[in-house]
Amino acid sequence: MSHPVGNEFVVPYNPYLLLKYDAHINVEVCFTVKSVMYLYKYVYKGHDAAIVE
């Protein structure tokens, strides 16, 4: 019984980051306005907060 082999399980990676952190880090490039807005919001979102009564 054989399984079909394809490229769907191959992910891009950066060899420098792989060696530096000894871990797999998925690296992708995207150039859309939404991705830039998401990164801006993520970086400047602040700390998590909760209200306890």
Q: Look at residue 37 and tell me if it is in a domain.
A: yes
SS (H, E, C) the chain: CCCCCCCCCCCCECHHHHHHHCCCCECCCCCCHHHHHHHHHHHCCCCCCCCCC
CA distance linking residue 25 with residue 11, whole number of Å: 9
Q: Which domain holds residue 36?
A: 10-53
Q: Please tell me the pTM assigned to this model.
A: 0.41
Task: Assess if residue 1 is contained within a domain.
Answer: no
The whole-angstrom separation of Cα 23 and Cα 13 is 10
> Cα angle vertex 31, ends 33, 19, to 5°?
130
Flag whether 2 is in a domain. Answer: no
Residue-by-residue pLDDT tens, the chain, 53 positions: 788 888 887 878 888 988 999 988 888 777 788 888 888 898 898 888 888 98
Q: What is the pLDDT of residue 21?
A: 93
5 within a domain of the structure (yes/no): no
